[in-house]
Amino acid sequence: MTTYRRSRALAGLAAVALLALTGCGTQTTTSATPASDAALPGEGRSIRATQVAHVTDVHEATGMTLLEGPLLYEDGDLYVVDVTAPPGEPKLISVDVTTGKHKGVFTDKTGAYTSAQFSPYDGRLYMTDFATGSVVSVARDGSDPRTFFSGEVDGSKMTPDDIAFDDEGNLYVSDAHGTEPDETDGRIVRIDRGGKKTTVLSDGLAQPNGVMFDPGLRGLWISELAKDTISYLLLDADKTAVTSRHEAIHVDGGLAQTDSIAVDADGNLYQALHGRPAMAVYSKYGKRLATVEVPAKDAEGLRSATNVAITPGGTKAYMTVSGPGGGYVYKFTAPAKGIRQSNGG
């Protein structure tokens, strides 16, 4: 997730201070990193993104807005969450990517939702609640909200950020679990599709944010906000244990930090950047292929790109970008076709 800081700031309405939210980091970015029309040396080719919709403005109650979790339905509607929306204002929003029109779908009194993902098991839309430590599901129209999971994992409450699903509908959640710069108690947690059994797959992580399966569902790509790294977790056949883990890519982002991750049909990684309205594209072997950026004229007032949804079977991609200038959806052409692992998370 992203905000004007890799720490997700959520102004606690009723007298609560800011809750670090964004990519689960803690350093505040005080100025936007200028975008350019050409990627810098070593950043691969430049992919220009164009504006689709201006979805939100900064909320008076929270002092910010932060769009996350873009998710496409088969009919083309795009859904996004606004992490810092106060009670009563839309927290789940649908966007018509053709017209740019948008409408609120769901809100509640307490949630700070940092991701959205469809379950391949029951078809419901699942959202991680960074504020309460729970996972909530709703019907497509925002009705029938249910708490899928809430409580402690191995004696500790989660701070859930992003979600990935396997084909059976089990969840894999990045648990930021601490937002101080030197904290390394983040986790990747598996929750069975019934919402009852939890397993810590990996721990000792520095504010994990992005989590997504590779195309073959053999392992998970994860990003650590506080280390600017992308690691690969190879799983066993049951996907209940990690058989190996290694740091695969170090993201040289300068002031920017690693946010959410998506994966396309070719196995390419789309690494969102907190602190820069851009996204880095890597091959599965770590080569920087491209940098997706908004036009320089649009960059003022934008701080971060949080995530992307690539049309399953196509290359139309939609990226959520936010900052003090508001929350936006931008589109670009992806290097390869989208799959389930490049739609939400």
Mean pLDDT by groups of 10 residues along the chain of 345 residues: 41 34 39 52 90 97 95 91 96 96 96 96 97 96 97 95 97 85 86 97 95 97 96 98 97 94 98 97 97 94 96 97 97 97 88
Would you say 309 and 317 are in contact if contact means Cβ atoms under 8 Å apart? yes
The confidence score (pLDDT) of residue 24 equals 39
State how far the Cα of 226 lies from the Cα of 57, in Å rounded to an integer.
Answer: 28
The confidence score (pLDDT) of residue 181 equals 65
- Bridging pattern class, strands 171-175 and 160-165: antiparallel
The confidence score (pLDDT) of residue 166 equals 97
Would you say 225 and 207 are in contact if contact means Cβ atoms under 8 Å apart? yes
Closest CA to 209 of 246, 166, 261, 170: 261
The confidence score (pLDDT) of residue 37 equals 52
State how far the Cα of 246 lies from the Cα of 289, in Å rounded to an integer.
Answer: 21
Would you say 320 and 326 are in contact if contact means Cβ atoms under 8 Å apart? no
The confidence score (pLDDT) of residue 179 equals 59
Encoding tokens for residue 144? 């029938």
Identify residue 228 by its one-letter amino acid code: D
Read off φ and ψ for residue 32, nearest 5 degrees: -70, 145
